[in-house]
Chain A
Amino acid sequence: MSYYDIDDILADSQKLPCKFSITIPGLGYLNGEPGCPIKENVRLELPIWLAEILAICSISNSSDYEENDEYRETTFLKLLEPEFFSPVFLNFIKSDALRLNLNPYMFYYRIVTKWSNMFGDAELVELISKALVDRASELNDLSFKLNDHFRGGNLEFMNNLDSYEKQLFKNSHKSYKDLKIWWLKKPN
């Protein structure tokens, strides 16, 4: 999560579905209609960095405040539950984390972190943590056994890694390989 972390910037540009709660004039270019207002209840996919700030920033309607003498607050948009946090998807993780395809989401674990930063969903974090440990131990086995990548379901598993897991695989594999090379090296 550092300022210079390219992966973090890329993860920030992944899109989340959201719904506008008010009509905003002139913002239609987000929806591919430049010049038009964006209507209330329009569903859009916005990058995380934009959606987050719009979902958090609250706007108050000052006229309402005076008339009704009650403080009404609303935000620009509401975040909807993305497909990869839907109950169906989470049930899939529960049943078999190893067959899960994270490749399309690229930075799944980072997105989970950002999501729980906003919503503090302990159940989700616990579930994903467990899935990560399951997947990581499988990954570790594969990174040790050099010739097993293409056997059975392993190829599918290797294609389903997200970018963090790919890096993990690479580092772990390199470490095992370095030690093996050192151990087998003949004295000169």
Chain B
Amino acid sequence: MSLPKSYQQNFSPQEINFLAEQELVTVIPRYSMNGAQLIGAKMPKLRALNREQIPLWLATLLKKQEKCNIVVPEWLSVEYLRVRYDEEIKYPSKFSNLPWHWLPIAKKLLDYASDDFIDPPHEIRSLLQDLREVRLVKARKGIRELNHVYIQLDGLSLMEINEIRPFILEVMDQLRKMNDSLKVKAEEEMPRQAAAQMDRDEDSDDDIYQKE
């Protein structure tokens, strides 16, 4: 393959951003517009001031042309994020529950629709930053517990998983290779043990026949 190795196993942040843009958000159109059938998504017929759900990329496009306002999702409020932040502090071994694409969606909305936020955007931005740092520290702490068979990443979002993926994959792979090498030796010895087992089985059969 001609792709660099790091992109074969891993997404780039831009690719995840693209995936996140397919998520639906609620918009309030300012004008009425005819719907359109697009590849993959369908833009419904928009009537002024009637709420509709459209993909995020379309919403930011319309927002840029000032044809709609975006209804900021409820998890992007100071109150909600603060509760999550407190949860992160309270439970050091657990990740709080945030949307699968919380980082890219939050960034996109802050970048293009900061005037639609009810709470001040700079506060949200700093809360997001705090959340991200606290979660990253936890994820990296988890690396000390790595083993060759199992890893649990409950509650992490795709972007965060992707960030530590190259590292974790490689370490786990190396651990697996070292542990598998033990199996090779064990398997070589297996047939001999199996043969010994067979002999014993035959003996026991003989016993039964003799009794009869």
Per-residue CB contact flags for chain B residues 156-190 toward chain A (1 = under 8 Å, else 0) read 00010011111100110011011101101110000
How many Å lie between the Cα of A182 and that of B18 in the bound state? 12
How many Å lie between the Cα of A129 and that of B149 in the bound state? 12
Of A15-23, A26-34, A95-103, A135-143, the one with at least 4 CB within 8 A of chain B: A135-143
How many Å lie between the Cα of A164 and that of B186 in the bound state? 26
CB distance from A3 to the nearest CB of B (A): 16
- Say what secondary structure dominates the interface of chain B: helix
- Interface footprint category on A: 35 or more
How many Å lie between the Cα of A164 and that of B175 in the bound state? 12
Chain B: how many interface residues by the 8 Å CB criterion?
35
- Judge if A88 is at the interface, Cβ distance under 8 Å: no
- Judge if A75 is at the interface, Cβ distance under 8 Å: no
Q: By the criterion CB–CB under 8 Å, are B179 and A125 in contact?
A: yes
- B167: chain A residues at CB < 8 Å are 136, 140, 143, 168, 171-172, 175
Q: By the criterion CB–CB under 8 Å, are B166 and A113 in contact?
A: no
How many Å lie between the Cα of A183 and that of B125 in the bound state? 11
- Judge if A116 is at the interface, Cβ distance under 8 Å: yes
Residue B185 contacts which of A119, A181, A186 (CB distance < 8 angstroms)? A119
Number of A-B contacts (CB under 8 A): 99
How many Å lie between the Cα of A179 and that of B14 in the bound state? 9
Q: By the criterion CB–CB under 8 Å, are B148 and A175 in contact?
A: no
State which residues 103-143 of A face B: CB under 8 Å: 109, 112-114, 116-122, 125, 128-129, 132-134, 136-137, 140-141, 143
- B175: chain A residues at CB < 8 Å are 129, 132-133
- A183: chain B residues at CB < 8 Å are 13, 103, 107
Q: By the criterion CB–CB under 8 Å, are A136 and B178 in contact?
A: no
Q: By the criterion CB–CB under 8 Å, are B182 and A136 in contact?
A: no
How many Å lie between the Cα of A10 and that of B179 in the bound state? 21
Q: By the criterion CB–CB under 8 Å, are A141 and B140 in contact?
A: yes
- A141: chain B residues at CB < 8 Å are 140
- B111: chain A residues at CB < 8 Å are 186-187
CB distance from B101 to the nearest CB of A (A): 13
- Judge if B65 is at the interface, Cβ distance under 8 Å: no
Q: By the criterion CB–CB under 8 Å, are B10 and A129 in contact?
A: no
Contacts known (A119-B185, A129-B148, A133-B144); A164 close to B174, Cβ less than 8 A? yes
- Judge if A1 is at the interface, Cβ distance under 8 Å: yes
- B12: chain A residues at CB < 8 Å are 178
**Known interface pairs A168-B167, A179-B159; 15 further A-B residue pairs with C-beta atoms within 8 A, sorted by A's residue number:** A113-B177, A116-B178, A116-B182, A120-B181, A132-B178, A134-B144, A140-B140, A168-B171, A175-B164, A175-B165, A179-B13, A182-B13, A182-B14, A183-B103, A186-B111
